[in-house]
Amino acid sequence: MGDTKPESELLAVSVDGRSVAVAQGTLVWDACEKAGVYVPVYCAHKKMEPVAVCRMCLVEIEGTAKLQPACATRVAEGMVVRTATEQVRKFRDGNLEFLLVNHPLDCPVCDRGGECDLQDFTLRYGPGRSRTSITEKVHFGKAIKLSDKIVLDQERCILCWRCVRFYDEITGEKEIVLQERSVKTLIDTFQGRPLQSEFQGNVAEICPVGALTHAKYRFQARPWDLRRTASVCPKCSYGCNILIDAREDQVARFASNDNPDVDDSWLCDTGRYSFPELNRSDRVLNPEARLAGARQTVSYQDAVARGAGALLRVRGDHGPDAIGFLASTQATNEEAFLLQWLARDVIGTPHLDHRLSALAGIAPEQFALGIAEIEDCAAVVVIGDEPELADPVLTLRLFKAATKLGREVIRQPLEGDPEALAESLTGKDLVGIVAHQEQRQAALGLAARLALKGTTTKILTIVEGMNARGCQDLGLTPRLLPGYRPAGTPGRDGGEILKAASAGSIRALLVVGQGWDEDPRFEEALSRVEVLIGITPFAGSLARHASVLLPGRTIAEKAGTVTNTEGRVQRVRPAVQPRYAFPSDLRILGDLARGMGADLGVQPLAGPVYELISQAVPGYRGCIGGVRPDWTLSA
Amino acid sequence: MTEASTASQPGVPVLNAATRERIERSKALYPSARSAVLPALWAVQEQLGFLAPEGLAEVAALLDLVPSEVEAVSTFYAMYFQHQPGRHLIQVCRNVSCGLRGSDELLRHLETSLGVEDGETTTDGVFTLEGTVECLGGCGGAPMMQVDRYSYENLDFQGADQVLAEIRERAVPSPAGGSHA
Amino acid sequence: MPEARVLTRHLGAEGLTTLAGYQTVGGYQALKKALVMGPEAILAELKASGLRGRGGAGFPTATKWSFLPQGVFPRYLCVNADESEPGCFKDRYLMEEFPHQLLEGVMISAYALQVSHAFIYIRGEYRAQRELLEKAVAEAYQAGFVGQGILGQDWNCELIVHGGAGAYICGEETALLDSLEGLRGQPRLRPPFPAIKGLYGQPTIVNNVETLSNLPYIVSEGGAKYASVGTESSPGSRLFCVSGHVERPGNFEIAMGRTTFRELLEMAGGVWRGRSLKAMQPGGGSMQILGPQHLDLAIDFKAVADAGSALGAGALVIMDETTCLVDVSMRLVDFYQHESCGKCVPCREGTYFESELMHRLEAGLASTEELATLADICATMDGRCFCPLGDTATWFVMSAYRMFPDEFQRHCGAGHCPVRAELETAA
């Protein structure tokens, strides 16, 4: 809650004898939390309106005859709240007994076991003895596949309404609804039809019990076997904060890790359920090098020495122009920065990129609008379907702006008339424009039209790929140096690099990441070059064709930072240990440079490299914990 | 006669023009179209005899809602049928006032004379017997039963049998046009 | 004289269900008068009448009206005709016998409150009564008492009869609003109260059928005269439903505060079959039990509250000496279990647990520990549910248990209902 107001505007509330000062409008539940008093609740959820249906959070408030729901009652000056009285204790015990009247005793086979609020609260506040054995339990459907992602157990449902409210308040899709009434009330879809939403996983996450579970996590692990690490979802450029739950060397699931400025605690299914990609078994486990025509396992030092030697040889024979660098967008900022340093400063080639198509005329202004700032715009124009297809969680922010804040959200088809649109938006305080990078000309055009009419605009450009934005910011592009300074000699973009490689003018390639196996030009180029240094975690054309192959890390194994589409710098942390004992991608790049006689000046570790980034791009300084760089500093 | 037995064909609306017209009229009547959900469901039930899923989906389309919302509403209310009941619905009130004046005995008598349990439909499909209902507001004439829309009060066994015999004899739909709505 | 003639003052006149019939007894003159008086004068008369809501809670009607925020439009009026309280059949009677009196009351209120739409939410089971009302509404539209330019004045108000579909909970005013909005009829969180944010999020007044049926009298005869029918603490008259073990069940209009339960019982012919009174419920199925010792209590809000019960929706249910109160409790608990909207845990699960135990108790299968559990369940529920439905699901049971503890205890482990067994032995 916004307690940043001056002291005089705060209300004094006492919770179990502890005094707290909270803003007007604060819920008693939040005031209790602030006072360090935990109040159990099932139905309340910070992102949704209070409903007060579970009654778990009833507390005593001096001056009111009945117990009051802490989750739905607003504080008043001088309010005295008591949560630990005999009356409250007895009610919690009784209410938990009610919840158990019709709850199946299948904890041993329930996926929620160990992290179930019903288990936890019963243990802490509930009856020690069952008096419900004499009653017949009401039976409902079990293990209903609502989709290939979500499994529903209607008997375990305690009807907290979170999933129903999620589908009503957060997505508006209303896929899961309440049906029937009384003790027969249940949650279901229309005629049991499958869920279609892109946001289904959230309902399993917010379910306080084992009613809605993830199909992909079913019977996979127990929570106490999992190690939890805060990181960033790798699937797109939105930068949703996640918690990676890992069991040994496997990622068991992604969970959300609320960042109100980015994901607002919601994940899309594309991202959430992308984790099996990280568990692929076809890992590159050993350094290899091509010796006398055949690839063989070599030592790490040997592989690095051979790689550095090969690059120097090609440069010596054909000049730096004969060498190209490519990295996928899962490269961290530190890797991207080191890679562009390696290309430009160590080798001296301008041919480097993180994408296969050209990207001209990008500038920080095209990223002025922050994700959360969408809520501050009087109107938001989304150009085409591409932004929401690329970064699905954007849809939820737009829905929130429209429904909770009354903002006008306009989805402008690509073929729409920009002048008519500009006309209709004239006079608005602030118009946000959201466009995919490929349609940024349309965004700029609309902004120019609105500027002529005196309307202020801010653009949010959606880039493609997890750290595409960081790669751009830090100069892993052929035309721009770190911080969007123009390169003296523009190089070839990714597509041109592949073309030149196929044609023979580029003779050596260094490729980091998973590459572009879906693009036939990629394999074609790889098969043609004399020297191919590949740093990659998985089997694929890169691993197949590399003359020097080094095991790379997945995003779940890396430390460093990435930058999301709005420019926010966020940390990724290693959540699982790689199954081999070889250095990180960053260290490999540093060792290659050293092998070519270059000195980075610092250790190739995320922290020191970020310091180098901050020197090159001043806006990045101090942004490591989720801050958007101020681009006026870098000008 | 009800039309629910006619199997629905994909793409062909199950709601006839008159029902759709009624729903459109309701929609126009209220300040918000959603308020027409209950009247619309009544219209569907009067046409089909119960709330077939296709009917729910068509109501949703007519009122700019999603089908799940309409189903959520329809299953909340006890008088909307999810399955086809008998042609006439007999409701025996067994709340406190009727209970004090012999409604349990009346229900047991009707179960015997109709040969069905509480909640079942006679094999000829003429009567559905319901003994679990809200207080029907006939406490002044307890015990009572409601058959379709009509109350029959101060009933003894013979009186109840006679009422049902007359309805069966008429062998016509009740005056509402075939439904208990 | 305990009997009163306010709501029933035209009883016996011909053709009251038609507009023409109603007009022959002066119908719609009060509406005409109201339009001359203006909203403020109407409110003043209402205040003077001391009228309290007849739906169950007994909240002063004028006070409720005064909660409407100034200058916020549109506003709505909802008439609660979802009469479903066990033992209650007065609104049905008023709609069957005096539909135009209700409509006139509604339009007077609609004018006083400056609403654009008035809705009559009538329970689904009252299908025949709904059709009667719809006919009356059509007549009123035709005659220019409803619609555009009412009585030639610059005042428009639509009147819509809205049928429910079988849900006791829709008698709770916020559940009624959700149901009227086309949702599941479940109570809303308060605040905001309907007067501030009600139907479609706009200021809304919800009043009961009987409450509004009094308006024509109050406007034509004056609030003071209405009030004087009753007493200071319980002004006016009231239609009381008497049912159960009486000779002549029915509706009786009585002067509030001036009539005792004994007098009301006598109007209904006394306890049937020459038997004696064992217990009575003064306010419908939801209210606590009273005993023969309360017969001489005045039917007065305060007197009944002091005796530990309430007048509720105005229904007196009489139980004679043969009644098994465990059986009656079970019946009522089953009703609440069936009608629980399922929204909150204590009501949804509590009524179920309660009902399961009541069935065991009535069958003589419950142990004394289970009887103690039943009392615990009720204590957990009462006052902790989202709305009064769950709370009231415990009131009759617990009050009966308090008044007849032996009867409850004798059921424990008996293997059958001891009350019925004794009756059968005696017979």
pLDDT at B3: 43
SS3 assignment, position C111: helix
The arrangement of strands across the sheet holding A294-297 comes to A294-297, A288-291, A548-551, A531-536, A508-512, A323-327, A352-353
Does residue B110 contact residue B160 with C-beta atoms inside 8 Å? yes
Cβ under 8 Å to C: B residues 43-82? 63, 72-73, 76-80
pLDDT at C57: 87
**What is the rounded CA–CA span in Å between residue C87 and residue B137?**
7
Beta bridge partners of A59: A68
* pLDDT, mean of residues B105-124: 96
**What is the rounded CA–CA span in Å between residue A240 and residue A261?**
10
* Mutate: best of A28, A42, A90, A98, partner C, most C CBs <10 A: A98
Is pLDDT above 70 for C330?
yes
- If you average pLDDT over every residue of chain A, what do you get? 95
Task: Please indicate if any CB of chain B lies within 8 Å of the CB of A376.
Answer: no
Does residue A81 contact residue A67 with C-beta atoms inside 8 Å? no
In the 8-state DSSP scheme, what is residue A372?
G
Is pLDDT above 90 for C258?
yes
Between chain A and chain B, the number of residue pairs with CB atoms below 8 A apart is 31
Structure tokens at A402: 């429209």
In the 8-state DSSP scheme, what is residue C142?
H
The residue count of chain B comes to 181
Does residue A178 contact residue A53 with C-beta atoms inside 8 Å? no
Give the E-state strand segments of C245-310 in sequence order: 250-255, 277-281
Find all residues with CB under 8 Å of A108, minimum gap 6, and list them: none
Contact B69 A177 (CB under 8 A): yes
The residue count of chain C comes to 427
- Helix, strand and coil content of chain C, in percent to the nearest 5, comes to 50, 15, 40
Q: Which chains touch C (3 or more CB pairs under 8 A)?
A: A, B
Q: Which chains touch B (3 or more CB pairs under 8 A)?
A: A, C
Question: Which run of H or E residues covers position A227?
Answer: strand A227-232
Enter the pTM of the model.
0.95
In angstroms, the Cα distances linking A556 to A221, A247, A326, A562 are: 18, 12, 21, 13
Between chain B and chain C, the number of residue pairs with CB atoms below 8 A apart is 152
DSSP class per residue in C190-238: SSSPTTTS-GGGS-EEEEEHHHHHTHHHHHHH-HHHHHHHS-SSS-SEE
**C368-381 and C345-362 are packed helices; what angle lies between their axes, rounded to 10 degrees?**
150
**CA nearest A528: which of A548, A513, A547?**
A547
Contact A179 B72 (CB under 8 A): yes
Question: Which run of H or E residues covers position C369?
Answer: helix C368-381
Query: pLDDT band for position C139 (50/70/90)?
Result: very high
**What is the rounded CA–CA span in Å between residue A563 and residue A73?**
40
For β-strands C237-244 and C250-255, DSSP reports them as: antiparallel
**What is the rounded CA–CA span in Å between residue A631 and residue A484?**
10
**What is the rounded CA–CA span in Å between residue C35 and residue C168?**
36
Is pLDDT above 60 for B142?
yes
Q: Please provide residue C299's backbone torsions phi and psi, each rounded to the nearest 5 degrees.
A: -80, 90
Does residue A369 contact residue A344 with C-beta atoms inside 8 Å? no
Task: Please indicate if any CB of chain B lies within 8 Å of the CB of C372.
Answer: no
SS3 assignment, position A262: coil
Of C84, C86, C128, the CB nearest to B97: C86
List b or e across A580-592, with b for residues whose CB sees 16 or more CB atoms inside 10 angstroms: eebbbbbbbbbbb
Does residue A359 contact residue A437 with C-beta atoms inside 8 Å? yes
State the Rg of chain A over Cα.
Answer: 28
Contact C165 B79 (CB under 8 A): yes
**What is the rounded CA–CA span in Å between residue A428 and residue A594?**
56
pLDDT at B178: 37
Task: Please indicate if any CB of chain C lies within 8 Å of the CB of A174.
Answer: no
Contact B66 A190 (CB under 8 A): yes
Contact C360 A131 (CB under 8 A): no
Structure tokens at A217: 């996590």
C380–chain A nearest CA distance, Å: 6
**Which is it for the CA torsion B72, B73, B78, B83, positive or negative?**
negative
Of B42, B132, B140, the CB nearest to C163: B42
Q: What percent of chain B has a predicted confidence (pLDDT) above 90?
A: 83
Beta bridge partners of A512: A327, A535
**CA nearest C22: which of C122, C94, C84?**
C94
Find all residues with CB under 8 Å of A479, minimum gap 6, and list them: A359, A360, A486, A487, A490, A491, A493
Task: Please indicate if any CB of chain C lies within 8 Å of the CB of A95.
Answer: yes
Burial class (CB in 10 A: 0-12, 13-18, 19+), A517: middle
- What value, to the nearest 5°, has the Cα angle with vertex C6 and ends C5 and C10? 75
* pLDDT, mean of residues B148-156: 94
CA A95 centroid distance within chain: 37
In angstroms, the Cα distances linking B9 to A630, B18, B84, C8 are: 61, 19, 18, 55
* Mutate: best of B8, B56, B68, B76, partner A, most A CBs <10 A: B68
Query: pLDDT band for position B90 (50/70/90)?
Result: very high
- If you average pLDDT over every residue of chain B, what do you get? 90
A187–chain B nearest CA distance, Å: 9
Q: What percent of chain C has a predicted confidence (pLDDT) above 90?
A: 97
Burial class (CB in 10 A: 0-12, 13-18, 19+), A309: middle
Count of other CB atoms within 10 angstroms of residue B58: 21
pLDDT at A492: 97
Does residue A427 contact residue A522 with C-beta atoms inside 8 Å? no
**What is the rounded CA–CA span in Å between residue C205 and residue C196?**
9
Beta bridge partners of A380: A409, A432
**What is the rounded CA–CA span in Å between residue A359 and residue A346?**
24
**What is the rounded CA–CA span in Å between residue C185 and residue C78?**
15
Structure tokens at A84: 């630990």
Answer left, alpha or beta for residue A52, where phi above 0 means left and psi between -120 and 50 means alpha. Answer: left
Does residue A465 contact residue A330 with C-beta atoms inside 8 Å? yes
SS3 assignment, position A409: strand
Q: Which segments of chain A have a pLDDT < 50?
A: 1-3, 635
- If you average pLDDT over every residue of chain C, what do you get? 96
- What value, to the nearest 5°, has the Cα angle with vertex A64 and ends A59 and A69? 35
Contacts of A102 in chain C (CB under 8 A): 349, 352
Task: Please indicate if any CB of chain B lies within 8 Å of the CB of A182.
Answer: no
C345–chain A nearest CA distance, Å: 5
pLDDT tens sequence across B37-86: 999 999 999 999 999 999 999 999 999 999 999 999 999 999 999 999 99
- For residue A527, the number of C-alpha atoms closer than 13 Å in the C-beta half-sphere is 8
pLDDT at A376: 97
Answer left, alpha or beta for residue C22, where phi above 0 means left and psi between -120 and 50 means alpha. Answer: alpha
Query: What amino acid occupies position A566?
Result: E
Query: pLDDT band for position C215 (50/70/90)?
Result: very high
Is pLDDT above 80 for C353?
yes
SS3 assignment, position A441: helix
pLDDT tens sequence across C168-208: 999 999 999 999 999 999 999 999 999 999 999 999 999 99
ipTM: 0.95
Long-range contacts of B99-105 (CB under 8 A, 24+ apart): B99/C327, B99/C328, B99/C331, B100/B142, B100/C243, B100/C244, B100/C245, B100/C317, B100/C318, B100/C319, B100/C323, B100/C328, B101/B142, B101/B143, B101/C244, B101/C245, B102/B143, B103/B142, B103/B143, B103/B144, B105/B157
Residue with tokens 């288990």: A119
Query: What amino acid occupies position C44?
Result: A
Structure tokens at B47: 């046409």
Find all residues with CB under 8 Å of A146, minimum gap 6, and list them: A152, A176, A189, A194, A195, A200, A212
pLDDT at B172: 53
**What is the rounded CA–CA span in Å between residue C188 and residue C341?**
12
Task: Please indicate if any CB of chain C lies within 8 Å of the CB of B99.
Answer: yes
pLDDT at A634: 52
Of C83, C86, C116, the CB nearest to B95: C86
Contact C348 A136 (CB under 8 A): no
Q: What is the dihedral of CA C359, C362, C367, C372, to 10 degrees?
A: 80
Straight-line distance from the first to the last Cα atom of chain B, in angstroms, rounded to the nearest whole number: 13
